[in-house]
Structure 1
Amino acid sequence: MSTDPLAWLTQLEGVSSAYAATRDGIDVMLRDRGLRRTSPETTAESLMRGAHASAVLEGSASELADLAEGRGDQVAQDALRLSAVLLSTAPALSTSPLQALARLHAVASATSLPEDQRGRPRDQASADRLRRVSELLLAPTEAPALLVAALVHADLATAAPFPSHNGIVARAVERLVLVARGVDAKSLVVPEAGHLALRPQYESNLRAYRDGGERGVHAWALYAAEAYAAGAEASPLRRSAG
């Protein structure tokens, strides 16, 4: 019997082929456009675009130009502040994921929560959920890294283990998994923008993940592969090539 916690999901209809196709598309984009064009500025633009999209999904009314000029509402500022520390957290996500998750929430909530609530779960059930997410991130698996990222995102977004900023943290961790596992080491794909472009599907599939059992998880997995393809299309590499 397999000890791979995600083996069951990779065997469901359409999952493996969807993620193989999405990963191929990301690899082609990064290879063809990234090698000569990549710069710290391109990564910074990708992170900013991701922060903006994540903030809008969380209810922000700020425009991308607001963030570029250092302005924007509180939600946008929180997302932007988190994006600034995101890549430095990648090593911890691979070795001490609970600490990484706590740090990300502490940064996102730095201006809105008392210090004793930053980076801390809401209750014991939330602490248990965070522990399970950590175990998933540490577990050996043959599942695609993109799929691991999708599941961690959905788990954090639907369980809401922190007192605030759960959606922003969930989408940040999703991006970070892609960095830490070598899918997108320079963080040039903008998965948050993919979710924003497919917002009705994003929100309905998160509900399915939360309430729909195995079928809901399956539906979320298939949706997320599509969203990552849209996130690749939103990369600054695509825009600079246009």
Structure 2
Amino acid sequence: MAEDPLSALSQLADVAPALASARAAVDDAYRHRMLRRRGGEVAAEVSLRSAVASAALAGGRYDLADARSGVVTDPLLHGALRCAQALPGLAEQWRRAPRQVLARLHLLAARGVVADELLGRPVGTEQPPVAARLDALVEVIVASGGQGMVRAAVVHGELLALGLFPGPNGVVARAAGRLELLSSGLDPRGLLLVDEVHLAREPEYVGSAGSFATGTPDGVRAWLRHCATAVEQGAGGVAEVADYLG
């Protein structure tokens, strides 16, 4: 098994307890009795809610009921919905070909939002610093082992910081973060409502993402703690979705 390139990050102050608390919440959520009978319905509802929240963070704010009924025609929301629905099918390819998966996520997210010739094409990669950070991110994704929450946070944060994709880059970044949670085995059924938590804590989300982009230990720590909180509270949302579905 390859060495985890992010192992030092979980040793930052207060990060390990936040990760442990979030992990316990995920384990508890996955024991919900309704998942045995109607887990697929719960996952579908979580996918919808996650897409609505991610679109809202990108500037397309709509009521969940309107999104559920299909009356919203905004291509931004439809792109977020396509991304969310595609994640289970992209999980196996994620480790093998992350660049292609990211391009696919952008194509799904940005169709109808940006010009067709820009779909699936990262920008700025001709600049050596950007290319180097993207290469390092790919190495993180293809490496095995390590903390799934930390990896997901780094994938999410780096994609936000790099701004690789025209238009709904944030939708791509959040989808990639969820895909890492799914692929790592932490959230194999895609049940965690992390994007709803990002939206509910939007000022903290934006601020800690900006701090992460600085690369300082305190900035990275703030982002990791925010993402751990999103996982923990997102796990708590599983019971709420199960109760909603009855």
Using the size of structure 2 for normalisation, the TM-score is 0.90
> What pairs with 1:22-41 in structure 2 (closer than 5 Å)?
22-33=22-33, 35-41=35-41
Quote how far apart the aligned CAs of 1:165 are: 1.2
Gaps of 5+ in 2: none
The yes-or-no answer on 1:136 pairing with 2:140 is: yes
Equivalent residues, number: 239
User: CA, structure 1 residues 62+32, in 2 after alignment: closer, same or farther (shift >3 Å)?
Assistant: closer
User: CA, structure 1 residues 140+36, in 2 after alignment: closer, same or farther (shift >3 Å)?
Assistant: closer
The 1-side partners of 2:134 and 2:116 are apart by 19
Residue 234 of structure 1 aligns to a residue in which SS?
A: helix
The yes-or-no answer on 1:104 pairing with 2:108 is: no
Contact 1:210 1:216 in 2 (8 A): yes
The 2-side partners of 1:222 and 1:63 are apart by 28
Quote how far apart the aligned CAs of 1:128 are: 4.1
Identity %: 36
Quote how far apart the aligned CAs of 1:41 are: 2.0
CA offset digits 1:41-88 (Å, max 9, x no partner): 221111000000001111112111121011323321221122222221
Quote how far apart the aligned CAs of 1:164 are: 1.9
The structure with higher relative contact order (CA 8 Å, sep 6+) is: 2
Contact 1:209 1:216 in 2 (8 A): yes
The 2-side partners of 1:190 and 1:45 are apart by 10
Structure 1 match to 2:21: 21
Q: Counterpart of 1:62 in structure 2: which amino acid? A: Y
Q: Counterpart of 2:155 in structure 1: which amino acid? A: V
The 1-side partners of 2:240 and 2:45 are apart by 12
Structure 2 match to 1:7: 7
The 2-side partners of 1:76 and 1:152 are apart by 22
CA offset digits 1:115-159 (Å, max 9, x no partner): 3311111122344433322111112443x1011101110110121
Q: Counterpart of 1:131 in structure 2: which amino acid? A: D
The 2-side partners of 1:65 and 1:231 are apart by 20
Structure 1 match to 2:225: 222
Contact 2:12 2:217 in 1 (8 A): no
User: CA, structure 1 residues 85+141, in 2 after alignment: closer, same or farther (shift >3 Å)?
Assistant: closer
- Match among 138, 156, 161 for residue 159 of structure 2: 156
Structure 1 match to 2:187: 184
Q: Counterpart of 2:36 in structure 1: which amino acid? A: R
Contact 1:97 1:137 in 2 (8 A): yes
CA offset digits 1:89-119 (Å, max 9, x no partner): 1111121111111111111112223333111
User: CA, structure 1 residues 78+71, in 2 after alignment: closer, same or farther (shift >3 Å)?
Assistant: farther
- Match among 206, 225, 228 for residue 209 of structure 2: 206
- Match among 213, 238, 241 for residue 239 of structure 1: 241
Using the size of structure 1 for normalisation, the TM-score is 0.91
The yes-or-no answer on 1:173 pairing with 2:176 is: yes
The yes-or-no answer on 1:194 pairing with 2:177 is: no
Q: Counterpart of 2:30 in structure 1: which amino acid? A: L
The 1-side partners of 2:33 and 2:178 are apart by 20
Stretches of 4+ moved more than 4 A in 1?
Answer: none
The 2-side partners of 1:92 and 1:118 are apart by 19
Q: Counterpart of 2:152 in structure 1: which amino acid? A: A
Aligned Cα root-mean-square deviation (Å)? 1.9
